[in-house]
Each structure stands twice: as C-alpha cells, then as structure tokens.
C-alpha cells in the first residue's frame, strides 16, 4: 500500500481485514491480535521463555499465550508486565506510534507540578511520576480504612483543610462510604 509516496505495510487485525474485504492471511478462528502478535514474536527471533520477561502478568495472572489467543489484556498492570512484547505490536497497530502524546489526566499534571492548576499540558516525560496503575481490591480497602482514620484525626485536630482533602480522596475511592461530611453531590 502506498502512503505519502512510500510503500508501507499495514497489518490489520482479522476483524478489520474482514470489513475491508481483504482476505485475511491467517486461518479463520485465529483471533484479532493473534496474527500481529505472532508476527511480532516470530520477527523478534526467539520464543518467550528465552527472551526473558514474564510469561504472565503478576497483577492479574493473564498468561502471554492467553493474550495471543484473545487479543485483549487482563488488567492495567499487563501493560508494564508485557511492555517489551507490546512494543512491536503497538508500532504496527498505530502506524509507528509507540508513546502517548495526547491528553494527560488533570490530577496527574497537578501532582507533577503543584503550581499548575491542571492545564493538562505536557506529554508523558521520562521522569518518575506517580503511577497508580495497579491497586488490588484488598489494598483499596486498606487505603480506605487508613484515610478514614487520618480524616478522623484531622477533624479532631481541627485541621479542616486537610480533612477536606482527605474526604475528597475518600470519595474517589469509595463513593458510598462517606461519613458525616455532607454527601450527595452536585446533582446531574
């Protein structure tokens, strides 16, 4: 296929290939990302085990082989777990794109630079930044309990601003569990 005057290869998942009436070059029954993944691994020249890197995601247990069959990942943590395998797949699926250059959640932008009132600017940089990618349900419960305790202490110590911040944090994690701090929201 020609694009911008140069010959470019496009790899389509089976669903897209079917829609564009191009005959898929993989046998039917092979799932969406399967062809792309298989190709990426073949071209990397070595089977999973030899390349190193996990064969399963430590957060949700999804095996790489399962991903190959189903075409979808198991949890946010899979992106880190399978990062090295995903590189070539993403490059093919996104026409060479490998890094996010779009919108940033306002809260992350504020945490990185508290002076900025969340203009959402800046792309993902190389520096360390708070990544809340994986928190299990158990840990979520622990965090909720911990924040509740801190909230009570702050109220007792009359640190109302801190209490308000903690209450907001609590609301984000557990909307049903607010204490006396006026629940119910701005009505939609």
Partner 1 sequence: MNEAGGPLPLEQVRRGAAWLCQRGDDHDVVVSTRIRLARNLAGLPFNARANQEQRRAVIELVRGAIERSELPGARGVPPQITWSELHRLAPLDRTLLMERHLISKEHAKLPNDGSAGPRAVAISMPDEGLSIMVNEEDHLRMQVLGGGRSLESAWARADAVDDQLEAALDYAYSPRFGYLTACPTNVGCGVRMSVMLHLPGLRLTGELEKVKRAARDMTLAVRGFYGEGSDAVGDLFQISNQTTLGKAEGDILRELDKQILPEVIEYERASRRLLIERRTKMLEDQVFRALGTLRYARLLAPEEALTTLSMVRLGVLTGLIADLDEVQVTQLFVLSQPAHLQRVLGRELDQQQRREARAEFLRQRLTPAAGGEARA
Residues at the contact surface with partner 1, assessed by CB under 8 A: 1-3, 10, 13, 15-16, 18-20, 32-33, 60, 62, 70-76, 79-80, 83, 86, 89-90, 93-108, 120, 123-125, 129, 131-137, 139-140, 171-173, 175-176, 184-188
Our CB check for partner 1 shows the closer of 132 and 156 to be: 132
Cβ neighbours of 117 (radius 10 Å): 9
Proportion of the chain in helix, strand, coil states, percent, rounded to 5: 45, 5, 50
Q: Which residues contact 48 (CB under 8 A, 6 or more apart)?
A: 41, 55, 64, 85
Helix/strand/coil for 3: strand
CB of 157 to partner 1, least distance (A): 27
Our CB check for partner 1 shows the closer of 72 and 153 to be: 72
CB of 97 to partner 1, least distance (A): 2
CB of 156 to partner 1, least distance (A): 26
Our CB check for partner 1 shows the closer of 29 and 185 to be: 185
Our CB check for partner 1 shows the closer of 6 and 115 to be: 6
For the chain, where are the alpha helices, taking DSSP H only? 14-19, 34-44, 48-51, 64-70, 77-81, 83-93, 106-112, 137-156, 160-173
């Amino acid at each position: 296929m020609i694009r911008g005057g140069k010959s470019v290869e496009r790899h389509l998942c089976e669903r897209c290939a079917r829609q564009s009436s191009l005959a898929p070059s993989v046998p039917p029954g092979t799932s969406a990302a399967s062809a792309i993944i298989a190709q990426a691994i073949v071209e990397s020249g070595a089977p999973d085990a030899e390349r190193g890197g996990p064969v399963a995601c430590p957060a949700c247990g999804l095996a790489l082989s399962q991903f190959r069959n189903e075409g979808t990942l198991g949890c946010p943590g899979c992106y880190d777990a399978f990062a090295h395998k995903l590189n070539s797949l993403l490059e093919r699926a996104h026409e060479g794109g490998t890094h996010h250059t779009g919108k940033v959640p306002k809260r992350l932008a504020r945490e990185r630079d508290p002076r900025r009132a969340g203009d959402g600017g800046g792309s993902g940089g190389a520096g360390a930044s708070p990544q809340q990618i994986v928190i299990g349900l158990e840990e979520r419960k622990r965090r909720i309990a911990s924040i509740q305790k801190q909230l009570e202490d702050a109220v007792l110590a009359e640190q109302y601003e801190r209490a308000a911040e903690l209450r907001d944090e609590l609301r984000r994690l557990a909307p049903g569990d607010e204490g006396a701090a006026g629940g119910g929201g701005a009505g939609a």
